[in-house]
Amino acid sequence: MSLMQVVKPKIRGFICVTAHPEGCAAHVQEQIDYIKAQKPLQGGPKSVLVIGSSTGYGLSSRIALAFGSKAATLGIFFEKPSEGGKPASAGWYNSAAFEKAAHRDGLWAKSLNGDAFSNEIKEQAIAIIKKEMPKIDLVVYSLASPRRTDPKTGISHRSVLKPIGAPFSSKNLDTDSHKVDEVTIEPAVEGDVENTVKVMGGEDWELWMDALEEAGVLAEGCNSVAYSYLGPEVTWPVYKNGTIGKAKEDLERAAQAIDALLKIKRGKAFVSVNKAVVTQASSAIPVVPLYISLLFKIMKAKGLQEGCIEQAWRLFSTQLYNDNFLNYDEAGRVRVDDWEMRPDVQEEVFAIWPKVNTENLSELTDYAGYQGEFLKLFGFGIPGIDYDKEVDIEVPIESLA
Ligand code: NAD
């Protein structure tokens, strides 16, 4: 099937409801090229499960491990194919482009599109691994979701981004109106913390690892990583000390439980704290877009700027593989947010923070860089793509076709 169409960005709040197939493919290829320009990983994994593999950190992890370690990858995601004359979601096009490039290079790659929180998807993943893959030697857990249905109770939980105990007011960038204003977020009400922990905490990661172990599909020395964020103090009321922070604490609890499970196999489980990047998940968090716009300006000026692919590569090449050791912090986490959190970077960001307003936004921050990254998530604004040309919006993901 084919359906030719001119695709333009349609931004609604913090989401773009269209995605450009060729632009998404170019974005994926850019990341593949970055990995191919690096030295291959020594002692890297050969059989990888990536849960949340279609966008952001999960996609970059999958690209880094497939092209940097020649790993077979099974990717799990929740994306929309093209339907009713509308383009597919960005993660769909990313995954189609990833598989095409992987298969072209002779790499085994399959995907499952469905709810990773469900028992069914876990069962389907295990069936594929048993039949077609060597035992798994790395599980990357990179889900970001606003809701989860608990497979045991059938209850649906919604996660919220709220402070705990008191309202939080902060300078904020409204990415819709491009205005710097003040935002006040009301505190969590009863059930918000529990629900957010249910969705974004570690329970599902544990369910995955238990199911994989029970099915006997984890290899000797299998490792597992899940991603987290801490960030600067200005975001703590709504992030680290807010409802999402409670969920991330639970992820750390789960890391310890899974670590105990994997230790028996001489493997390890850990949380990697990654840097702030523009993804569909982070653009939805109040205060974060303004912070990111400032952070990018400072990190670029210091030659420290990284996106998802550079972060994923640094984690795998300088910590997990190449005969390196994990460099744990005092809480047992791995930190690749170290450059973001460098005192000189943070001091410069917060020397500018009080001065930013709508008028000087472009001058004092890298809002243009933020917007460019945001559009790129959906395949727009990429040099070499003719956005006035019709493109086929019905792009199959080879393993799902
Ligand atoms: P993202 O929105 O780009 O990716 C989320 C992924 O989860 C996608 O592949 C999506 O398809 C998948 N997904 C969501 N719900 C699903 C479901 N029910 N079933 C199957 N797949 C589902 O998000 P991201 O920013 O890359 O976040 C990934 C992780 O990295 C999160 O834990 C996040 O907290 C963490 N992190 C993000 C940042 C940041 O700045 N973006 C920084 C540090 C850590």
Instruction: With a cut of 90, say whether residue 234 has pLDDT above it.
Output: no
Give the residues across from 185 on adjacent strands.
168
Which pLDDT belongs to residue 272? Answer: 98
pLDDT at residue 284 above 90? no
Q: Distance (Å, rounded) from C-alpha 20 to C-alpha 26?
A: 10
The confidence band for 232, taking pLDDT boundaries of 50, 70 and 90, is: very high
Show the domains of the chain with their CATH numbers.
4-392 (3.40.50.720)
pLDDT at 61: 99
Q: What is the CA radius of gyration of the chain?
A: 20
**pLDDT tens, 131-146?**
999 999 999 999 999 9
Q: Is the pLDDT of residue 12 over 90?
A: no
Q: How far apart are CA 262 and CA 209, in angstroms?
A: 9
Strands 147-149, 72-77: pairing kind:
unpaired
Task: Tell me the pTM.
Answer: 0.98
Work out the burial of residue 384: count CB atoms within 10 Å of its CB; fewer than 13 is exposed, 13-18 middle, 19 or more buried: exposed
pLDDT at residue 13 is higher than 90: no
Residue 330 one-letter amino acid: E
The DSSP symbol for 87 reads P
Taking the C-alpha atoms of residue 112 and residue 72, their distance in angstroms, rounded to an integer, is 14
Active-site entry in 239, 291, 367, 370: 239
CA angle 113, 115, 116 (to 5 degrees): 95
Where does ligand 1 bind, in terms of residues with CB under 6 Å? Answer: 52-58, 76-79, 91, 115-117, 142-145, 227-229, 274, 276-277, 279-282
Which residue type sits at 44?
G
Q: What is the per-residue pLDDT across 166-204, written as a single tens digit (0 to 9) for each?
A: 999 999 999 988 999 999 999 999 999 999 999 999 999
Closest residue by Cα to atom 12, ligand 1, is 52
For the CA of 226, the closest atom of ligand 1 is: 32
Ligand 1 center–CA 220 separation, angstroms = 27
Cα separation of 113 and 48, whole Å? Answer: 17
CA atoms within 13 A on the CB side of 360: 8
Are 215 and 122 a contacting pair, CB within 8 Å?
A: no
Q: Determine the residue type at 189.
A: V
pLDDT at 130: 98
- Report the DSSP pairing between strands 269-273 and 156-158: unpaired
- Which residue CA neighbors atom 40 of ligand 1 most closely? 276
Instruction: Give me the pLDDT at residue 176, please.
Output: 87
Mutation choice for ligand 1 from 55, 80, 143, CB with most ligand atoms inside 8 A: 143
To test the pocket of ligand 1, the residue of 61, 121, 145 to mutate (highest count of ligand atoms within 8 Å of its CB) is 145
Please report the atom of ligand 1 found closest to the CA of residue 200.
Answer: 32
Predicted local distance difference test score (pLDDT) of residue 285 = 87
CA–CA distance, 359 with 314 (Å, rounded to integer): 37
Tokens of 289: 């877009």
Mean pLDDT in residue range 26-34? 98
pLDDT at 143: 97
- Band (pLDDT 50/70/90 cuts) for residue 281 is confident
pLDDT of 280 strictly over 90: no
Residue 301's beta-bridge partner residues? none
CA of 374 relative to ligand 1 center, distance in Å: 15
- Would you say residue 282 has pLDDT above 90? no
How far, in Å, CA of 375 to CA of 169, rounded?
Answer: 28
- With b for 16 or more beta-carbon neighbours within 10 A and e for fewer, the 130-148 pattern comes to eeebebbbbbbbbbbbeeb
Taking CA atoms only, the protein residue closest to ligand 1 atom 30 is 227
Asked whether the predicted pLDDT for residue 283 surpasses 90, the reply is no
Cα three-residue angle 253-255-261, rounded to 5 degrees: 115
Is the separation of the CB atoms in 75 and 113 below 8 Å? Answer: no
Q: CA 345 → CA 120, 286, 294, 400, distances in Å?
A: 45, 21, 10, 44
Does 387 participate in catalysis according to the annotation?
no
Q: Please, which pLDDT band fits residue 226 given cuts at 50, 70 and 90?
A: very high
- CA atoms within a 13 Å half-sphere pointing along the CA-CB vector of 117: 22
Percent of all residues in the chain with a pLDDT value above 70, rounded to a whole number:
100
- CB under 8 A, 24+ apart: contacts of 150-156: 150/117, 150/198, 151/117, 151/118, 151/119, 151/207
CA–centroid distance, 58 to ligand 1, in Å, is 7
- Alpha carbon distance 346, 194 (integer Å): 32
Q: Give the pLDDT band of residue 353 (cuts 50, 70, 90).
A: very high
